[in-house]
Structure 1
Amino acid sequence: MSAADQAAALKDTSHDTSGTALRGNMGALELIFTVMAYNGPAVVFLGFLPVAILLGNGVGTPVAIIVCGLVIAMVAFGLVKMAGRLDKPGGFYTLITAGLGRTTGLAAGFTALTCYFLVLVGVYALGGMTLGAVIQEIFDGPHIAWWVLALPLLALATVLGHFNINFSAKVLTFFLMCELVLMVVYDVAVLVQGGAHGIGFDSFTPHHISSGSISIAFLFGIGLFGGFEATVIFRDEVRKPERTIPRATYGVVALLAGMYALTAWCFINAYGADAVMGAVSGDLTGSAKNSVKDYVGQFAYDSATVMFFTSSIALILAAHSITARYLFNLGADGIFPQSLGKAHPRHVSPHRASIVVSTAALITIACVTLAKIPESQLYALLAGLYGYAFMILMVLVALAIGVYLLRDRLHGPAVAPAISSFIAFGIMCLTLVLATKNFTLLTGATGMTKTAMLSLIWGVTVLGAVYAVVVRRKKPEVYARIGRQ
C-alpha cells in the first residue's frame, strides 16, 4: 500500500453521506459485554470446559487457558495498533486486505462471513435444544424439536438486528451480567467450601501441565477466545474508537483468560484433581451443572439450566450482529449487491444485511432439519467448523498485522507489535496444522463427511481469492474498494 493509499485510508468518514457508515454510541464497557456475550461464558462453563478437560491436558487445563490467552494478547497487541492506524470498519476483512492485498483480503472476507454464519446456525440449534431442556426439566413439559423452538429465536434476532446496535448491546449486557453472577457465585462457593478435599494447586504443577494432550488443549484453548476481534468490527458504532477499541480488546482478552482459567480451576477442585477426569468422562454434559447443584443448590442448578438458554440467546444476537456487519461491508464495497451495504436512514443499522442473514439462516435450518442430523452431533459439527475457519482467519490476520506494521510508511514501522504478531502467526500455523490433523475430534465428522467439510471451508476461501481476480479484470472500480479501501 502506497503512502497516498494509507493517507486516504485515514480520511475522516464522519461526514459519510453514502449510507455505508454505521453509527452507534457504545462505550468500552458496553463493547466488552457485547463481544463477551458472543463468547457465551455460560455455554463455555457448562458445555465446553468439561470437554476441554477430558480431551485436552486434564487437570492442567487452567494453565493451558492462560497460555492461550497470552498468545491471543500478542495478536491483540498488533491488532489494536493496526486498527488505530487504519481507522476503517470491516474487521478481519479490512485488516487482512491492508496487510496482504485485496485478493487475500477478499478470500478472508468470504471466510469470515462463512465462519460467523456457521456459528450463528450452530447457536440457533443450541438455543432450540437448551430451550427444550428448560421446558422439560423445569416445567415438566413435552419434548419439542429444536428447530421449532429456534424459529422464535430467529425472529427475535431479526427484529433486534433492524435497530441500532445500542439496543442489542443493552440486551446482551443484561444476559452477560446474569452469566457472570452465576460463575462468580459458583467459584466463590467452591473456594469457601474448600472443594472436594481442600483447595489444591495440582493444576499448576509441571506433571499436570504436561499431562494428556497438550496440542488438543491448545487447540481448544485458542477456541475459547473466539470473537475477541469483534471489537474492531463495531468501529463506527462506538464512542471515541481510538480509545474505546483498545480498552475493550485488551479488556475482553484479560477477562476471558482470567474468568475461564479461574472457573476451570474451581471446577477441578469441586471434584478433586484425582476424581475430575472420572466425573467428566462419566457425565460429560451434566458434570458442570451437577457441580453447581452440589455447591450452590437446586435454585442455582435451575438457574444454570435457564442461563444455558439465555447465554444461547446472547450468542445468537451477537453472532447475528457480526455476520450482518461482514455482509454489510462486502455490500458497501460492491462485492455483493450494494443495497446490502446501505444503512437504515433512521436507526443507522445494517437492516438489509440483517434480513438477508436471517433468511439464509432460515433456509439453512430447514436444510439441516431435512438432512436429519442428530441433535447430539449438530452443534458440535457446526461449532467445530467455525473453530477451524476461525483458525484460518487467525493465521491470515496475524501475518497481515506483522506485514502492515513493518511496511507502514505513513506512520513508520511499529517493530514490537509486528514481532509479537509474527510470533503469534507461527503459533497459529502450528495450531491450524493440529486442527487439520484432529479435524474428526474437532467436529465429529469422519470419512466423506470430513472431506466435504474441509472442502467447504477451504473452497470458500479459494472462491474469494478467485472472485477477486475476476473483479480485478472486469470491475476494477470494485476491486479498488475491496477491504473498505
Structure 2
Amino acid sequence: MSREQTVPPPSTTTDGGSGRGLSKRTLGVPSLVFMIIAASAPLTVVAGGIPSNFAVTGNIGIPLSFIVLGVCLVLFTAGYAAMSAHIRNAGAFYAYIAQGLGRATGVGAAWVALISYNAMQVGIYGLFGFASASFVNGKFGLNIPWWVAALVGFVIVGWLGINKVDLSAKVIGVLVGLEFLAVIVFDVVAFAVSPEGFSGAGLAPSSLFTAGVGAALAFSMAAFMGFESAAIYSEEAKDPTRSIARATYIAVGIIALFYAFSGWAMTVGTGPSQVVGQAQEFGPDLLFVFLSEHGAVLISDIAQVLFITSLLAALIAFHNAVARYVFSLGRESVLPRGFARVNARHAPVAGSLTQSAVALVMLVVFAIAGTDSELGVMYPVLTFFTWLTNTAAFGLVLLLVLISIAVIGYFRKHDSGYSVWTRVIAPGLATLSLGTVFVLIVVNFNVLIGTEGFSPLSWILPALAVVPGIVGLLWGLRLKKTRPEIYQGIGFGGADDTSA
C-alpha cells in the first residue's frame, strides 16, 4: 500500500483547537439537490442566460445545447460520483485532485477553485443589485443605487453563512421551488401562444451545429456551474457514500432537461424566426415582457421578484461553497489554521467571514469605479457580473477537466471494484468533451465578456484564475520540501480514504 493512501491528516481538530467540526448528517439528498440547483439559478438562466445566448450567438439551437452538455456532465459524474464514495472532504475539487494527481497539484487546484467560486459569487451581486434596484425604483419611484441593493443581499447572505447549513438549505429549498413554479408558468404560456405553431427547431441538430456552435456551448456551460457542489457538503451529508452521487446525477438530469425544455418553450413562444431578434431587443427582460403581454402585469411582477430571489439563492449557495474551501485549506494548514474555525452552530465561520470580506471589498471597488462609468445603469451587469462570472466559468471548467483526469489517476492506485467504464472510459470521454468545451471558452472569451476583437481583458481575466493556480502549485512543492508533515496531509484532512 502506497504512502499516498496511508498517511493520515496532520490533525483531526477542525476549528483551530476546539474540536468542533462541520455539522454531521444534516443534509439529505433533497437538500443537496436544492443546493446544487440553487447555484445553477434556474430562473436566472431562463430569464437571463438563455436570451443572452440567443442574442449574442444568433443560434436557434440553444435548447439542444443543454442536452449535449448534460451528456458530457453525466460522463463526468460517473467517475466523480464513484470517487465521492471514498473521499469526504469539504474542499471537494481540492481533495479529489490532490489524491488523484498529487498533493501539490491539489493545492494549485484549490487556489483556482477559491478564485473561481469567489468570482462567481461576487459577480452575481452585480446582477442582484441591478435587478433589485431596478424593480424597486420602477415600482416605487425611488432612485436607489444598485450597490445599496447589493449590500442588502450581502447582509442576508453573510448572516445565513454563519448559521447552521440546514437553515440555508431550507431557505434555498423554498426559493428554488418558487423559481421552478415561475418558469413552468412561462413554459405553459409560451406553448399556448406559439405564434408560428408547434416547432421543433430549437431541438434540431441542424439548428445548433452551425458556425456559432462554439460560442453557444460556451455560453450554455455557464448555466451548469455549481452542479458539482454536492461533494463540498460531503462531511455534512446524512449518507455521503450514496447521497453525493445520487444528488449529483439527479441535479444534472433536472438542470439539463429543464433548461432544454424552457429554452425550447422560448423559441416556440416567440417563434423560431423571431426569437433571436426578440432576445437582442429585450435581453434579460424578454421573459418578463412576454408574460406582461400574454399573461398579466401581476404575473410578470411576481416573476421579477422570483428572479431576484433566484439570484439570492445562488449567492447563498456559492458563499457556502467558498466558506468550506477556506475551512478545508485551513484545517490542513495550507492556509493558517485560524481559517478552519467553526462556531457553536458548526458553521465554518472563519471561511464565511473571509468570503464576506472579499465580497465587500469588491462591491466597494466596483461601486466607486462605476460612479463615472459611461455604461450608465447597466454598468453592474456589463462589467461586475459579466466579467467575474465568465472568469469563474473559465476556472471551473478547467477544474472539471482536471477532475476527470484525477479520477483515472485515483482508481489506478486504489483497488475499488468499479468497472472499467467508471474508472477509465467515462472519465476519459469526459476529459475529451469538457476539454473541448474549455477550448471553446478560451477561443470565444471575448464574446462571453462582450468585447470585440482583441481586448486585454480576454487574457487578463482568465489569468486571474490560472496564475493563482500556478502559484498554488509552487506553494505545494515548497511545502513538500520545507513542511513535509503538512504536505502529507494535503487532501486528507478530516476525510477518511475508505479504500485505503
Q: Does the C-alpha gap of structure 1 residues 157 and 429 become closer, same or farther in structure 2, counting only changes over 3 Å?
A: same
Q: Distance in 1 between matches of 2:162 and 2:62?
A: 40
Give, as a single letter, the amino acid of the residue that structure 2 aligns with 1:29: P
1:235 corresponds to:
234
Give the C-alpha shift of residue 24 in structure 1: 4.7
TM-score of the superposition, structure 2-length normalised? Answer: 0.91
Give the C-alpha shift of residue 173 in structure 1: 0.6
Give, as a single letter, the amino acid of the residue that structure 2 aligns with 1:98: Q
Give the C-alpha shift of residue 330 in structure 1: 0.7
Give, as a single letter, the amino acid of the residue that structure 1 aligns with 2:83: M
Q: Given the alignment of the two structures, is residue 434 of structure 1 paired with residue 434 of structure 2, yes or no?
A: no
Q: Is the 8 A contact 2:25 2:239 kept in 1?
A: no
Secondary structure of residue in 2 paired with 1:349: coil
Secondary structure of residue in 1 paired with 2:492: coil
Q: Given the alignment of the two structures, is residue 371 of structure 1 paired with residue 355 of structure 2, yes or no?
A: no
Q: Does the C-alpha gap of structure 1 residues 194 and 153 become closer, same or farther in structure 2, counting only changes over 3 Å?
A: closer
1:208 corresponds to:
207
1:401 corresponds to:
407
Q: 1:56-96, CA deviations, whole angstroms, 9 ceiling, x for partnerless residues?
A: 46221111110100101110111000111234332111111
Say which of 449, 459, 462 aligns to 2:470. 462
Q: Distance in 2 between matches of 1:448 and 1:206?
A: 35
Give the C-alpha shift of residue 484 in structure 1: 2.9
Q: Given the alignment of the two structures, is residue 453 of structure 1 paired with residue 461 of structure 2, yes or no?
A: yes
1:46 corresponds to:
47
Q: Does the C-alpha gap of structure 1 residues 209 and 448 become closer, same or farther in structure 2, counting only changes over 3 Å?
A: closer
Q: Is the 8 A contact 2:59 2:213 kept in 1?
A: no
1:293 corresponds to:
292
Q: Does the C-alpha gap of structure 1 residues 269 and 308 become closer, same or farther in structure 2, counting only changes over 3 Å?
A: same
1:474 corresponds to:
482
2:497 corresponds to:
none
Secondary structure of residue in 2 paired with 1:58: coil
Q: Is the 8 A contact 2:190 2:269 kept in 1?
A: yes
Give, as a single letter, the amino acid of the residue that structure 2 aligns with 1:421: P
Across the aligned residues of Structure 1 and Structure 2, the Cα RMSD in angstroms comes to 2.2
Alignment of 1:317-336 (within 5 A): 317-336=316-335
- Give the gaps of 5 or more residues in structure 1: none
- Give the gaps of 5 or more residues in structure 2: 374-378, 494-500
Alignment of 1:239-258 (within 5 A): 239-258=238-257
Q: Is the 8 A contact 1:55 1:213 kept in 2?
A: no
Q: Distance in 2 between matches of 1:293 and 1:385?
A: 34
Give the C-alpha shift of residue 112 in structure 1: 0.4
Q: Does the C-alpha gap of structure 1 residues 386 and 357 become closer, same or farther in structure 2, counting only changes over 3 Å?
A: same
Q: Is the 8 A contact 2:161 2:349 kept in 1?
A: yes
Q: Distance in 2 between matches of 1:24 and 1:471?
A: 33
Secondary structure of residue in 2 paired with 1:284: helix
Q: Distance in 1 between matches of 2:149 and 2:116?
A: 23
Alignment of 1:81-92 (within 5 A): 81-92=82-93
Q: 1:16-73, CA deviations, whole angstroms, 9 ceiling, x for partnerless residues?
A: 9843444351111111011111111111011100112233462211111101001011
Q: Is the 8 A contact 2:119 2:388 kept in 1?
A: yes
Q: Distance in 1 between matches of 2:244 and 2:340?
A: 23
Q: Distance in 2 between matches of 1:409 and 1:131?
A: 50
Q: 1:180-217, CA deviations, whole angstroms, 9 ceiling, x for partnerless residues?
A: 000112112222x2511221112233432323511112
Secondary structure of residue in 2 paired with 1:85: coil
TM-score of the superposition, structure 1-length normalised? Answer: 0.93
1:360 corresponds to:
358
Q: Does the C-alpha gap of structure 1 residues 239 and 14 become closer, same or farther in structure 2, counting only changes over 3 Å?
A: farther
Secondary structure of residue in 1 paired with 2:141: coil
Give, as a single letter, the amino acid of the residue that structure 1 aligns with 2:141: G
Q: Is the 8 A contact 2:14 2:340 kept in 1?
A: no
Q: Is the 8 A contact 1:62 1:261 kept in 2?
A: yes
Q: 1:266-309, CA deviations, whole angstroms, 9 ceiling, x for partnerless residues?
A: 00000111111211122223222212223332222101211111
Give, as a single letter, the amino acid of the residue that structure 1 aligns with 2:405: L
Give, as a single letter, the amino acid of the residue that structure 2 aligns with 1:480: Q
Q: 1:204-251, CA deviations, whole angstroms, 9 ceiling, x for partnerless residues?
A: 334323235111122122222111110000011111112221211111
Q: Does the C-alpha gap of structure 1 residues 46 and 466 become closer, same or farther in structure 2, counting only changes over 3 Å?
A: same
Q: Does the C-alpha gap of structure 1 residues 44 and 92 become closer, same or farther in structure 2, counting only changes over 3 Å?
A: same
Q: 1:298-352, CA deviations, whole angstroms, 9 ceiling, x for partnerless residues?
A: 22210121111111111111111111111111111101111211322x2111012
Q: Distance in 2 between matches of 1:428 and 1:124?
A: 28
Secondary structure of residue in 1 paired with 2:84: helix
After TM superposition, the structure 1 stretch with the greater mean CA deviation from structure 2, 101-110 or 147-156, is 147-156
Q: Is the 8 A contact 2:196 2:272 kept in 1?
A: no
Q: Is the 8 A contact 2:111 2:472 kept in 1?
A: yes
Q: Does the C-alpha gap of structure 1 residues 246 and 388 become closer, same or farther in structure 2, counting only changes over 3 Å?
A: same
Give, as a single letter, the amino acid of the residue that structure 1 aligns with 2:459: T
